[in-house]
Amino acid sequence: MKTRFSLLAAALLAAVGAFSASPASAQTAPDATSQAAGLTAIKSYLLTRVTMMNGAAHDYEKNATAYQAIIDANGGDYDKAAIASGPELLALVSKMQADYLGLHMNGYETVEGIAAGVKSLVEYDIYFDSGVPQSQASTDSPAAPIVLKTASGEMIDNHNGNIFHYVIEPTLWGAKATLVKRLSPDASKSVHGLILLPRADVAVASAHDVAREADRFLASCQAWQPTADECVGALVWMTPTFNTYFDDLRDSLYGSNPSAYISESRVKDMRGIMGSLKIVYDALSPQLAAKDPALADQLKNEYIGIMAYIDETDGRDHAARVAHSKLSQAAIEEMGNHAKTMSDQLAPQLQQAAAIMGLKLPIKPTLA
């Protein structure tokens, strides 16, 4: 996720302050029980998904090391390695790509709505998925804190983008010339016509780095003690980012960031991000329903509507790809505008819900 917020989202800070100053109403015993159950459910979901992500990180490390061993056994000559061990190399590339999907689309993206919306976890969002190159950094889009070198000391990434979309994905899918090795025609025949293979030293360096950070992320999630303030705050800050994912989709299809989202469409990620926010809302909605059942139902239906719209968008995107085409820029802009309308109308309702529940919302999470 690029941490870019709509004007409405930026304006929420003033509104948050307006009702945060009011003392929280005392909770009844049923309220406290309902809230505790919801917070337990949120943390349980987070730990389940991040544990799976952590497993993918260490599996990637294992497979990258095995891949490096084959290259080393052939004196670092990728042509020789392909000719001598083509099937083994292909199998390991396929495994590493599957590991990446476990790390990214089926891993981090399924908790991003929580992690990027919580102060103690936001650093991992910037490292894994949202950090941009230093030259593009701003307050809302910070630079990735990555200094990554190969074992020989060659610089791979020096604050030049997050580990997923600027290093691992373009390495494993051959999207950056500096991160791959080009094969000779004869060697290419031994790997089913592949022209490029991932650089083993880059794969291993990125695997060691991402496994270390996945361990840290899991430990931070285990230590996190969620509060209703923080969780509803994540809804307030993250829901209005929905339309920005359509900007990412456009950039991945039309050139300004072509090395990102090549393993899977950005639309797939939307389901994980917004789905994690829906899970947060569903876990806390009983507390709101006890005080304002109409608003609780309205918000529930709004999140259901967002997920249905993502399904519709996915269908259109998939149909275009099957036809060896892509969504037009005009279509993406139209979809993004509709997404903005949907998320913008949710924002004031979430503020209202926070006030009714007597919550003190935190400010937008940043590294500062």
Strand 155-158 to 180-182 pairing: unpaired
Residue 49's pLDDT band (boundaries 50, 70, 90)?
A: very high
Q: What is the residue extent of each domain of the chain?
A: 7-356
Q: With pLDDT > 70 as the criterion, what percentage of the chain qualifies?
A: 90
Given a cut of 60, whether residue 18 has pLDDT beyond it is no
pLDDT score at 209: 98
Which one, of 368, 306, 276, lies nearest residue 41 by Cα? Answer: 276
Asked if residue 63 lies in contact with residue 210, where contact means CB atoms within 8 angstroms, the answer is no
Q: Which pair of tokens denotes residue 37?
A: 């159950």
Using one digit for the tens of pLDDT, what is the confidence trace for 170-215?
999 999 999 999 999 999 999 999 999 999 999 999 999 999 999 9
Question: Which H or E run contains 196?
Answer: strand 196-198
Given a cut of 80, whether residue 28 has pLDDT beyond it is no
State whether CATH 1.20.1420.20 applies to domain 7-356.
yes
Using one digit for the tens of pLDDT, what is the confidence trace for 285-302?
999 999 999 999 999 999
pLDDT score at 11: 38
Using one digit for the tens of pLDDT, what is the confidence trace for 231-245?
999 999 999 999 989
Residue 34's pLDDT band (boundaries 50, 70, 90)?
A: confident
∠ CA 247-177-250, nearest 5°, is 10
Residue 263's pLDDT band (boundaries 50, 70, 90)?
A: confident
